[in-house]
Structure 1
Amino acid sequence: MTPVQLLDPEGELHPHPDWPLDISPELCRDFYRRMRLARQLDQEALALQRQGELGLWLQSLGQEASQIGSIMAMRPTDYVFPSYREQAAALCRGITPAELLVQWRGNKNSGWDAEQYRFHIYTLVLAAQLPHATGYAMGVQRDGADEVVLAYFGDGASSEGDANEAFNWAAAADVPLLFFCQNNQWAISTPTRTQMRTPLHQRAAGFGLDAHVVDGNDVLAVHAVTSGVVQNIRSGGGPAFIEALTYRMAGHSTSDDPGRYRTDSELDSWRTRDPIARLEMLLEKQGWADEEFRAEIDEECRILAVTTRSVCRDLPLGDFTALFDTVLAEPTPLLTDQRRQYGEFVASFEE
């Protein structure tokens, strides 16, 4: 199956007969703005981690089109189950930089109210969110709600047993669920080509899912395909699977050195397919971006950068002492001693 593409790396449009999309200046400018802001947040968070302000960060660099094109095809009431690098999608749901950073600063176990944003807290255990999403979709189905559940995950997570059980469970139960795989070519240091011999969308079809593959660096194609697939799910067409072919341009996390396992030539090749650059070329060619628009985006990115740095450093220290009270019904001497050691450790920073 050839990946669906509407906008090529040179910024040229190629309408697709099966996936129509009203490509307006307003739509393209909105996508461009959202991708620029997502990348700005990513850059600031990376710098904060390198300065010791965050314990860890997982960048979405290069995957902005996959996330924004898909999340913007959902209704605000549709519930989303992310993995741990969906900050571009989270920003679209209104989640703030402070809410995104607090977990990685170690101040809270999660930073936002999942029900308020209809966006679940991050799942760090690979593929664990997929059975959760399937079970939630079964509840939606039984409630008769007009809702579609969206679950994000990566190619590496697809190799987990949880993922394959969720695919089969969702298909057998015929639930209103969209599995959205950001195939960024690497499961930490393991390339996709050595993870599997069959493309992910083909595997999904084998489970009975309505499967599709799209150029994940083309925000217009991602949006068109996701919109069409979600409409089919909402009308009773059953669960579906979209494989978005994209690339993780940074390391797996800030603790990872991708230079140890991938080549500069591979990275350079994918840089020519950068999702923001190709949409920028379209805006230029169509005359849809003037100097005023560019200045507005630059200023908005600058304000976001300043805000991100400020709110990160102002986050209050969390108190995790209460966690020791809920491990066992009756505390043991070892648990009591561990609580004491933790209290002394936290107090040492105040000194």
Structure 2
Amino acid sequence: MAKVIEVDPEGLRSWIASAKRTLTIESEAMAKLIQALDGPLGRAFGEAVRLIKQGSGRVVMSGMGKSGHIARKIAATLASTGTPSFFVHPAEASHGDLGMVGRDDIIIMISNSGETAELRAMLDYAKRFHVKLIGISSRAESTLCRHADVALCLPDAREACPIGMAPTTSTMLQLAMGDALALALLEDRGFNAAQFKTFHPGGLLGAALTHVNDFMHKADKLPLAAPATPMTEALVTMTEKSFGCLGIVDDKSGELIGIVTDGDLRRHMSRDLIDLTVAEVMTHGPRTIAADTLASEALDLLNAGKRITSLFVVDDKNRPIGLIHVHDLLRLGVK
């Protein structure tokens, strides 16, 4: 059994006050960064996006310490949004990992001071082999910014750490700049949900970005009947297919014109149900879905309906080509 720890009210107030101070300092720094984009930083940002967009190689991220952790995250964000990217540790670069950097690649180095000694080998390599270099730093006169082809100089902002030592505000700004680059590139190339799924096939993201066509029930699994079908036959079909519904298709056009659900059966139980045809029992104009709809959108449609558990998938002529059930979405892990 977990031990219950009582929190002193005075201590709690102190912790919350500390959190507010941290977030206030960081939000003020973020406001400075946004404002700086209206000046020289904005022009440099545009040049960095152009450089990456026109490049034929990959984006090589690098940084030491906390900046290195930020560089790893930016590399992951770039790669997952359509810009090939990876991380090279600067200390390992001079021990063989520089061989991972191609002549057509673009290096993005992150260093708050711009003077990190471990970056020297990569700086020299970039200069020697004319590899384009983008530097992200808070010091415009630093070695990194002076040697970079494009220098993204972040605004001067104090660290949120009360002793001004732990990288907090500075790494937040670095990460924000990396996200801004990744998303500017994403928007510029029109990167869409289908492409995003290609890089996120697993987990909840992959499930939500799956298309209805990928998991719908097809062909002979579909519970379908003509309007004149007697309810005696319809009930057998509904039982065999076990979706709790029956799609009614027009004899000539093949269009879906109605649906019989468990609810329709209950509404007609007072009459002689087995003497009726499906046309007399069905609900007209059932809700449908297209095959290229995302699984997340399909779940929204099911949730928006009252007690709807199944949806017929139709083509552009409203002919049924598949069926999905809410259990299919649950099995996929869509939420």
Larger Rg: 2
Structure 1-normalised TM-score? 0.26
Higher relative strand content? 2
Structure number with greater CO (CA < 8 Å, separation at least 6) is 1
Structure 2-normalised TM-score? 0.27
